[in-house]
Chains A and B, each alone.
Chain A
Amino acid sequence: DQQVKQNSPSLSVQEGRISILNCDYTNSMFDYFLWYKKYPAEGPTFLISISSIKDKNEDGRFTVFLNKSAKHLSLHIVPSQPGDSAVYFCAASEGGGSNYKLTFGKGTLLTVNP
Chain B
Amino acid sequence: EAGVTQSPTHLIKTRGQQATLRCSPISGHTSVYWYQQALGLGLQFLLWYDEGEERNRGNFPPRFSGRQFPNYSSELNVNALELEDSALYLCASSPRGGQPQHFGDGTRLSIL
What residues make up the interface of A, taking CB atoms closer than 8 Å to B?
32, 34, 36, 41-46, 49, 89, 91, 93, 97-107
- Expressed in whole angstroms, the Cα–Cα distance for A43 and B104 within the complex equals 5
In the assembled complex, how far is the CB of residue A75 from the closest CB belonging to chain B, in whole angstroms?
14
User: Once the chains bind, are B45 and A103 in contact (CB under 8 Å)?
Assistant: yes
In the assembled complex, which residues on chain A have CB atoms less than 8 Å from the CB atom of B70? none
In the assembled complex, which residues on chain B have CB atoms less than 8 Å from the CB atom of A100? 31, 33, 48, 55-56, 97
Residue B17, interface by CB 8 Å: no
Known interface pairs A41-B105, A43-B106. Does A104 touch B43 (Cβ–Cβ under 8 Å)? yes
Residue B102, interface by CB 8 Å: yes
What are 19 A-B residue pairs whose CB atoms fall within 8 Å in the complex? A34-B100, A41-B105, A42-B105, A43-B103, A43-B106, A46-B100, A49-B100, A89-B42, A93-B99, A98-B97, A99-B56, A100-B48, A100-B56, A101-B33, A102-B35, A104-B42, A106-B40, A106-B41, A106-B42
- Expressed in whole angstroms, the Cα–Cα distance for A104 and B43 within the complex equals 6
In the assembled complex, which residues on chain A have CB atoms less than 8 Å from the CB atom of B101? 46, 102
Q: Given contacts A43-B90, A43-B106, A105-B42, could you give 8 more A-B pairs where the C-beta distance is less than 8 Å? A: A34-B99, A36-B103, A42-B105, A43-B92, A43-B105, A44-B103, A99-B97, A100-B56
- Expressed in whole angstroms, the Cα–Cα distance for A102 and B102 within the complex equals 12
User: What 10 A-B pairs are tightest by C-beta distance, nearest first?
Assistant: A43-B103, A101-B45, A106-B42, A104-B43, A46-B100, A43-B105, A97-B99, A44-B103, A100-B48, A100-B56
Residue B4, interface by CB 8 Å: yes
- Expressed in whole angstroms, the Cα–Cα distance for A103 and B35 within the complex equals 10
* CB-nearest residue of chain A to B106: A43
User: Once the chains bind, are B99 and A49 in contact (CB under 8 Å)?
Assistant: yes
- Expressed in whole angstroms, the Cα–Cα distance for A97 and B102 within the complex equals 14
In the assembled complex, how far is the CB of residue B82 from the closest CB belonging to chain A, in whole angstroms?
22
In the assembled complex, how far is the CB of residue B24 from the closest CB belonging to chain A, in whole angstroms?
13
